[in-house]
Amino acid sequence: MPIPVEVMLKKKERFERDPDTIPADFHDELFRLEAEGELIVQRIPDGQPVVEVPTKYGRPKRVPKGHLWHHKSCGQCGHIPGYSTSIFWVMRKLGYDYEDPRDQTSCTAWNYYASATSNEAAQAAVALRNFATAYESGYFPLIHCGTSYGHYKEVRSELLRHPELRAQVRRVMDKLGKPMVLPEEIVHYSEWFYALRHEIAARQVRDFSGIAVTVHPACHYYKLVEGDAIYDPDVYGGQRTAVVTALAEALGAEVRTYSTWFDCCGFGFRHILVQRDFTRSFATIRKIEVMKEEADPDVVLTHDTGCVTTLDKSQFAAQAHGRNVGVAVMSEAQFAALAMGAHPYKVCQLHWHSADYRPLLEKMGIDWEKAWVEFETDVAKLERGEKEFLSWEDVDG
Amino acid sequence: MAERPRARGAAVKSEAVAGFDDVTYEEKRKLFEEVRSDLRFPDYLYGCYECGICVAVCPSARFYDFSPRRIAQAAARQDVELIYQQMQEDIWECSQCFSCLRCPRGNNPGGIVTIMREVAVNHGLASAKEALEGYSRIIYKIMSTGTQVSPDMLQPDAFPDWGPEVADVSNQLALWRRALPPETLHTTSTGWDVSDRTLIELYLIWLETGALDMIRDVDEGLHMILEEVMEERLEEEGIER
Ligand code: SF4
Ligand code: SF4
């Protein structure tokens, strides 16, 4: 189904920017607290090129193109390393500098939403420690994980609203010898891809015009503290978040819609680890099967760690039960990297994925068998001790 | 009220508050007061229209006998008995997706669940112990290493339902990690290479905010191990608390 924008705009429950219900801009409180010396606001460094993007309630959001501090995702780095690698690769190809820090911790929110073995002061202190570290480096934070992004927006709301929480966190930060810092914007990597989509498309070397895509928008990206999320009147008529979709369209792919787009993926934080029967059922019955039936995509694109994991890994067991599943799943970062000519294994690391991505690669004109031999040849060099690691130069060789 | 359709044979929770007679009303009230006094609570509850929009969008309501509406209503009515029952029977079913933020009243039932879970953990309720059984390795990982998801968790016996690729990754792990071009990703036991100084700072956060102590009642053994790891490390650095 192509995107029925006209129908969406006629719906009774359509989203409209009602001037009476537009939430207050958090910047007012942020800058007030800065003026009172309560915290430091990290600005996008002077001289860095910035793209202004539209958000849900119309407030323009500034996204810096370069000089970014990559707040990595433990789920991406640990289990889907082609996700993070593709983000870095695309940024390098476009010529923007960045910092890949070792003094970063996970936001720890996956555990918090799974087990509640933490509290808001600890969660806020973890966030502010990372923000302070980015500030001290001079690079501006770019958040890879949708849950980190959602959680940090929540932390910011709580800190701006509750002086007692600020006082508690300040005591901890004093102990660490770090300042209280919040960035002027909390920026998700998918917003960077949205902002840079035309630059990415200008470097495209593979034709995606025959590729059909469905998009799963990540709950924690646009449902938590919704005012920060990008909504563009030119994408879905402004009815859904524009990230991922706008990029896929800029790359010439055909984005198709499906009825359960608003549903979560079934990740559940604890469920994906210790109650996977729920996760598998939800991901296949409410998402993958509906997509297959209504849109028959070549690939499912999403922009969060948990969603890629869930939608990709849940298909194997369902396939064994003869369900209507079997579609490639990846992040739009990997999709963009492939468009720009990235190696499917050395960069996009698709061998870490479960659902069959090979038919997609064939449609993209990629000889995956040859690519696999190339990867194995490089790995053999590591095995023989000829090299310790593969470098960025190696993966483009 | 029309009954909600549910899967055949699924366990159904009674509308009436049953059980937990062995817990005094005072004890239940104390737990509710803790939920209510959380500073986020007023931002998460503004009364309830009973419209059920939250239920319609809730993934957990589709597969469990779980309802964000019931969570919001019990909290709005300050129904101490029902809230206690929910803390023992319902809260761990929530997916924490926050789809229920679509509530026209501005409620956040998923957020209320987060607070209820925290109180359940803090007091070592049976539901929390049960929910965290088999989960302690993950808490150990995140609290002690600073990243939750590590490559070496991908073991075929832990994820038999994820397909044969898990075994491939696990067999080739060290080699495939060395094939990753970002220098921070060559690790196998953590998501990325976290610096020593950063870990010490993280330990201080867990200790200073009482986050570590939260798990004392749900998992005494884990608490002991983590406390030892952290205090030893801080002592080596000569950091006094
Ligand atoms: S956060 Fe919990 S209660 Fe809310 S929609 Fe998601 S699963 Fe349902
Ligand atoms: S959507 Fe909001 S108002 Fe409606 S039942 Fe749920 S909590 Fe109550």
Q: Is the same domain home to A10 and A104?
A: yes
Mean pLDDT of all residues in A231-245: 96
Give the residue numbers spanning the domain of B54.
16-131
Q: Count of domains in chain A?
A: 2
pLDDT tops 60 at residue B10:
no
Q: Is the same domain home to B144 and B230?
A: yes
A359: its two tokens? 């038919």
pLDDT of residue A15: 86
pLDDT of residue B18: 61
Q: Do A223 and B97 touch (CB under 8 A)?
A: yes
Q: Is the same domain home to A89 and A164?
A: yes
> Is residue A343 assigned to a domain?
yes
Q: Is the same domain home to B110 and B153?
A: no
Domain boundary among B108, B131, B154: B131
Q: What distance in Å separates residue A72's CA from the closest CA in chain B? A: 8
Q: Is the same domain home to A309 and A211?
A: yes
- Closest Cα to atom 5, ligand 1: which residue? B58
Mean pLDDT of all residues in A64-82: 97
Q: Which residues of A41-67 are buried (b: 16+ CB within 10 A; e: fewer)?
A: bbebeeebeebebbbbbeeebbbbbbb
Band (A8; pLDDT cuts 50, 70, 90)? confident
Q: Is the same domain home to A83 and A116?
A: yes
Q: Which residues contact B129 (CB under 8 A, 6 or more apart)?
A: B218, B219
Interface test mutation site (partner B, options A115, A168, A228, max chain B beta carbons within 10 A): A115
pLDDT of residue B84: 97
Q: Is the same domain home to B113 and B145?
A: no
Contact yes or no for A82/A350 (Cβ under 8 A): yes
Q: Is the same domain home to B31 and B126?
A: yes
Mean pLDDT of all residues in A31-48: 97
Q: Is the same domain home to B23 and B114?
A: yes
Contact yes or no for A68/A142 (Cβ under 8 A): yes
For A269-292, write each residue's pLDDT tens digit: 999 999 999 999 999 999 999 999
pLDDT of residue B13: 61
Flag whether residue B99 sits within 8 Å of chain A, measured between CB atoms: yes
- The letter for the amino acid at A37 is G
pLDDT tops 70 at residue B6:
no
> Is residue B75 assigned to a domain?
yes
For A188-204, write each residue's pLDDT tens digit: 999 999 999 999 999 99
Domain boundary among B105, B131, B157: B131
Residues of B in contact with A356 (CB under 8 A): none
> Is residue B67 assigned to a domain?
yes
Q: In CATH, what number is assigned to the domain containing residue A285?
A: 3.40.50.11810
pLDDT tops 90 at residue B11:
no
pLDDT of residue B104: 93
Q: Is the same domain home to A218 and A294?
A: yes
> Is residue A165 assigned to a domain?
yes
> Is residue A354 assigned to a domain?
yes
A335: its two tokens? 């999709």
Q: Is the same domain home to A107 and A167?
A: yes
Residues of A in contact with B176 (CB under 8 A): 351-352, 379
Q: Is the same domain home to A150 and A282?
A: no
Q: Is the same domain home to B111 and B23?
A: yes
Check pocket membership of B239 for ligand 2, CB cut-off 6 A.
no
> Is residue B57 assigned to a domain?
yes
Q: Is the same domain home to B44 and B114?
A: yes
Q: Do B179 and A389 touch (CB under 8 A)?
A: yes
Backbone angles phi, psi at B194, to 5 degrees: -100, 130
Contact yes or no for B148/B193 (Cβ under 8 A): no
Cα distance between residue B12 and residue B64, in whole Å: 9
Q: Count of domains in chain B?
A: 2
Q: Do A120 and B62 touch (CB under 8 A)?
A: no
Flag whether residue B108 sits within 8 Å of chain A, measured between CB atoms: no
Q: Which residues contact B127 (CB under 8 A, 6 or more apart)?
A: B87, B88, B89, B91, B92, B120
Q: Is the same domain home to B150 and B72?
A: no
Point out the ligand 1 atom lying closest to the alpha carbon of residue B93: 7
Please state the separation of Cα B70 from the chain's center in Å. 20
Closest-CA residue to B199 (of A304, B189, B222): B189
> Is residue B8 assigned to a domain?
no
Q: In CATH, what number is assigned to the domain containing residue B90?
A: 1.10.1060
Band (B114; pLDDT cuts 50, 70, 90)? very high
> Is residue B43 assigned to a domain?
yes
> Is residue B85 assigned to a domain?
yes
- The letter for the amino acid at A257 is T
pLDDT of residue A7: 85
Q: Do A74 and B161 touch (CB under 8 A)?
A: no
> Is residue A397 assigned to a domain?
no
ipTM of the complex: 0.95
Percentage of chain A lying above the pLDDT 70 cut? 99
Check pocket membership of B54 for ligand 2, CB cut-off 6 A.
yes
Q: Is the same domain home to B22 and B107?
A: yes
Give the pTM: 0.95
Band (A246; pLDDT cuts 50, 70, 90)? very high
Interface test mutation site (partner B, options A79, A88, A117, A372, max chain B beta carbons within 10 A): A117
Point out the ligand 1 atom lying closest to the alpha carbon of residue B96: 1
Cα distance between residue A200 and residue A192, in whole Å: 11
> Is residue A381 assigned to a domain?
no
> Is residue A332 assigned to a domain?
yes
Check pocket membership of B52 for ligand 2, CB cut-off 6 A.
yes
Domain boundary among A189, A221, A249: A189
B146: left (phi over 0), alpha (psi -120 to 50) or beta: left
Q: Is the same domain home to B106 and B167?
A: no
pLDDT of residue B16: 55
Cα distance between residue A370 and residue A361, in whole Å: 12
Flag whether residue B39 sits within 8 Å of chain A, measured between CB atoms: yes
pLDDT of residue B9: 41
Band (B20; pLDDT cuts 50, 70, 90)? confident
Band (B225; pLDDT cuts 50, 70, 90)? very high
For B26-44, write each residue's pLDDT tens digit: 999 999 999 999 999 999 9
pLDDT of residue B241: 75
Q: Is the same domain home to A181 and A211?
A: no
A227: its two tokens? 């005012």
pLDDT of residue A88: 98
Q: Is the same domain home to A183 and A290?
A: no
Cα A222 to ligand 2 centre (Å): 19
Q: Is the same domain home to A131 and A26?
A: yes
Q: Is the same domain home to A290 and A336?
A: yes
Q: Do B182 and A78 touch (CB under 8 A)?
A: no
Check pocket membership of B177 for ligand 2, CB cut-off 6 A.
no
Q: Is the same domain home to B160 and B180?
A: yes
pLDDT of residue B14: 55
> Is residue B214 assigned to a domain?
yes
Name which of B134, B182, B209 is nearest A100 (Cβ-Cβ): B182
Q: In CATH, what number is assigned to the domain containing residue A102?
A: 1.20.1050.140
Q: Is the same domain home to A173 and A208?
A: no
pLDDT tops 70 at residue A211:
yes
Mean pLDDT of all residues in B10-33: 79
Mean pLDDT of all residues in A36-64: 96
Point out the ligand 2 atom lying closest to the alpha carbon of residue B49: 3
Flag whether residue B25 sits within 8 Å of chain A, measured between CB atoms: no
pLDDT of residue A80: 97
Check pocket membership of B103 for ligand 2, CB cut-off 6 A.
yes
pLDDT tops 80 at residue A2:
no
Flag whether residue B142 sits within 8 Å of chain A, measured between CB atoms: yes
pLDDT tops 60 at residue B4:
no
A192: left (phi over 0), alpha (psi -120 to 50) or beta: alpha
Q: What distance in Å separates residue B217's CA from the closest CA in chain A? A: 11
Give the residue numbers spanning the domain of A298.
204-373
A81: its two tokens? 């390393």
Q: Do B147 and A352 touch (CB under 8 A)?
A: no
Mean pLDDT of all residues in A293-320: 97
> Is residue A378 assigned to a domain?
no
For A133-156, write each residue's pLDDT tens digit: 999 999 999 999 999 999 999 999
> Is residue A243 assigned to a domain?
yes
Domain boundary among B98, B131, B164: B131
Name which of B40, B142, B215 is nearest A108 (Cβ-Cβ): B142
Helix axes B196-208, A120-137, angle to 10 degrees: 150
Name which of B60, B99, B147 is nearest A219 (Cβ-Cβ): B99
Q: What distance in Å separates residue B27's CA from the closest CA in chain A? A: 21
Ligand 1-lining residues (CB < 6 angstroms): B 57-60, 68, 94-100, 109-110, 113
Name which of B139, B181, B208 is nearest A85 (Cβ-Cβ): B181
Q: How many residues in total does chain B contain? A: 241
pLDDT tops 80 at residue A67:
yes
In eight-state DSSP terms, residue A286 is: I
Q: Which stretches of chain B are DSSP H helices?
A: 25-36, 41-44, 53-57, 59-63, 68-77, 80-89, 109-122, 126-132, 136-145, 165-171, 173-178, 196-208, 211-214, 220-236
Q: Is the same domain home to B148 and B214?
A: yes
> Is residue B213 assigned to a domain?
yes
